[in-house]
A and B are shown apart, each in its own frame.
Chain A
Amino acid sequence: MVRDWLVRIATFCALLLVWQLVAQQMSAAILPTPQRTVNALIALIERGELQTAWGQSAVQVAVAMVLSALLGVGLGVLFGWYRKLDQLFSPLFGSLFLMPRVALIPLIALWFGLQDVAKVMLIMAFSFFEIFFTVRNGVKSVESEYVDVARAYCVPQGRTLRTVVMPAIRPYIITGLRLGLVYALVGVVLAGFFLEANGIGGMIYDLGSNFRTAELMAALFSVMVVGLAVNLGLRQLETRLTPWQVSR
């Protein structure tokens, strides 16, 4: 274990060195040195730009996630439970899921404008389906014995859902929420690119089009940190809350 980490640290240092050497040969607009990138990151934080951008994005993501969680879990349980309903709508949902969600951007701009409402919609287009499909598949895969026993004892359907199905699908709900949040990050970046240019996406877009590459890389670094924190943190939470579940 210790040796693994030594190897990792050594490669990381080697990588930094290569970056440094390559960057020295190039214009800073193409590839800034590691030093410049770190300075740019510090400058962005000191001026408060990074915090402002992430603050805006966080609000948009939070609203969208609450909505897609409610809708996704609700509809997921409904569609997983009533098979007929699922069959009726599955080709429609399936094709929406397979469609490049980016294609929805012009429609969202047409229907909801460019402001926060449109952004929340775009983020939901990314996060909702992940939650919905995970929860639906979870309900479908609940051991039929459990449900049969409940039925044999004439437990009313509402109560079966509440006391048998809901506990059984808890791991799926948590996995769905994690995937939904990871995809919500994609949505919020895109929203900044194509709708009103604020938040982290707008910031990245502006920095890129002005060739402020050092700051751009610093902003991308912050995206990576947030993505990692979301992904790994929620996976930790997943194993903590549902230790019996093999996470996917």
Chain B
Amino acid sequence: MNKYLLPASGVAGFLIIWQIVGAFQGDFLSSPTRMVGEIVYLTTEGGLIGLVLITLGTMLIGWVLSIVIGVFVGFLIGRYRIMSVILEPYLIAKYSVPIIALVPLLVIWFGIEEGFLIATIIIATAIMLVFPTAAGTKETVRTYDQVARAYSISGWHFFIKILLPGSLPFIATGLRISVQRALMAVIVGEFLVGYNGLGTLLKDARIRLDADEVFAVAFIALLVGAVLTGAVGYLDRRLSSWRPVAVTS
């Protein structure tokens, strides 16, 4: 119990100070009560739940596509050395560019609707699956290659029966670190183009310079992110539970 005492009092102290300061400079700094009021208002009048669900829906589509692409590329890199030679420079380059800078180009290519959002999520997220999957594939090939060869398992069978289960814990790690990023990507995308969802509220808040709304949206985003991360973390533990050793990230 004592473990939670200090963090809890830190949060409580912060909320109290914020409330007091906010009482004087409310329009500027908002305050906990104003934030809660805004959340209630957005829920009842602003269709907040609908917007959250739309954002989640878009995010899930983009995330699943990112997983498919990222895992596929990861397999290629882990399995075939030539692919890692070819792709490595691009992956490093990709890692070094702020993805946000690509947004104007993506708007030109994909417009400002759902296609754009999904493209943004894939570009931001797929890469986070590549390296864990590649590591898992390498590990699995190293361990099981000879056995598989002895039983002359190859091709599609090798992929489904050996590579996929073998690298699953690694992929799960990739899932855990990518879910938060996928959510951020979709919110940023919605904020940038103003297409339907949670990010749209931010765009709205930016135009009206409404501090209450910003804090409300940020809080909701934080909450959604925490729930998603928790859910994926649970999945991760389930998928990795048969493994005696901890999985490297």
Q: Is the interface of B mostly helix, strand, loop or mixed?
A: helix
Shortest Cβ distance from B213 into A: residue: A106
Kindly state whether residue B245 has any CB partner on chain A within 8 Å: no
Shortest Cβ distance from B96 into A: residue: A227
Let me know if A92 and B86 touch, CB within 8 A: no
Let me know if B222 and A95 touch, CB within 8 A: yes
Let me know if B206 and A99 touch, CB within 8 A: no
Binding site for B on A (CB under 8 A): 4, 7-8, 11, 29-30, 84, 87-92, 95, 98-100, 102-107, 109-111, 182, 185-186, 189-190, 193-194, 200-201, 204-205, 207-209, 211, 213, 216-217, 220, 223-224, 227-228, 230-232
Q: Contact string, B100-135, partner A, CB cutoff 8 A, digits 1/0? A: 111111011100000000000000000000000000
Let me know if A106 and B108 touch, CB within 8 A: no
Kindly state whether residue B244 has any CB partner on chain A within 8 Å: no
Contacts of A194 in B (CB 8 A): 206
Contacts of A30 in B (CB 8 A): 108-109
21 A-B contact pairs sorted by A residue (CB < 8 Å): A87-B10, A88-B7, A88-B13, A91-B7, A92-B14, A98-B226, A100-B183, A100-B184, A100-B221, A106-B202, A106-B205, A107-B214, A110-B209, A111-B28, A182-B96, A186-B100, A193-B100, A208-B103, A208-B105, A223-B97, A227-B93
Please measure, in the bound complex, the distance between the C-alpha atom of A87 and the C-alpha atom of B8, giving whole angstroms. 9
Contacts of B10 in A (CB 8 A): 87-92
Q: Which of B136-144, B146-154, B187-195, B232-240 is the interface stretch?
A: B187-195
Using a CB-CB cutoff of 8 Å, which residues 150-201 of chain B contact chain A? 180, 183-184, 187-188, 191-192
Let me know if A98 and B96 touch, CB within 8 A: no
Let me know if A98 and B192 touch, CB within 8 A: no
Q: Is the interface of A mostly helix, strand, loop or mixed?
A: helix
Let me know if B180 and A106 touch, CB within 8 A: no
Contacts of A102 in B (CB 8 A): 184, 187-188, 191, 202
Let me know if B7 and A90 touch, CB within 8 A: yes
Let me know if B97 and A224 touch, CB within 8 A: yes
Name the distance in Å between A85's Cβ and chain B's nearest Cβ: 9
